Amino acid sequence: MGFPLKQPGSSSQDYNYILDRVKQKLAGWKANMLSLAGRTVLIQTSSVAIPAYVMQCSQLPCKVLDGIDRVNQNFLWGSSEGGKKIHWVGWQKVTKTKEEGGLGLQLARGRNTTLLAKLNSRLHTEREAPWAQVLVKKYCSPRRLNNVNANKLPCLATWKVIKKGMETFNKRKQMDGG
């Protein structure tokens, strides 16, 4: 169940296996044999589930996230390796909620950010967990927080992804009134 941690100098190629797995999962189905609703459900269950494990602990490269969206677009409209089909509705409209007139599909970037914000939420709610205590003690000391170059100080990859989800977490917290 492991996955490669993003290390300095690693590239989007280190995460291409996720894109390949999404492609394989959707390629097993004939898009032209499924209704639009069937293709939508298949995208929601396959391409959301496959990268979710890695997305909750790692910021995936934009190239991989855009690739996941591209595979989803092509499958939704019936495009394949053999031929392109017309994309009748823009992807920005398709990814709106059902209440807003979309299909309720999520952009891969937004899903990745949401899962990183969830990790942030866990840090706040599971303060007594050993992993949370280690991170708080190491990275939330007054000396470190008051440093003008706090963002440039070395830190674990886990802390970096928690910081990436922090903005989304804080916005949500303000909306909830907490």
What is residue 1's predicted lDDT score, i.e. its pLDDT? Answer: 47
What is residue 100's predicted lDDT score, i.e. its pLDDT? Answer: 94
Q: How far is CA 132 from CA 120, 126, 176, in A?
A: 10, 7, 23
What is residue 99's predicted lDDT score, i.e. its pLDDT? Answer: 95
Rounded CA gap, 6 and 12, in Å?
Answer: 9
**Residue spans of the chain under pLDDT 70:** 1-10, 80-82, 145-148, 150-151, 177-178
Is pTM beyond 0.85? Reply is no
Other C-beta atoms within 10 Å of 80: how many?
14
Cα angle, residue 77 at apex, residues 72 and 83 outer, rounded to 5°: 100
Rounded CA gap, 59 and 112, in Å?
Answer: 7
Going by C-alpha positions, the residue among 22, 171, 173, 47 that lies closest to residue 112 is: 47
3-state SS, residue 57: coil
What is the per-residue pLDDT across 118-138, written as a single tens digit (0 to 9) for each? 888 888 889 899 988 888 888
What is residue 164's predicted lDDT score, i.e. its pLDDT? Answer: 78
Going by C-alpha positions, the residue among 18, 28, 73, 80 that lies closest to residue 50 is: 18
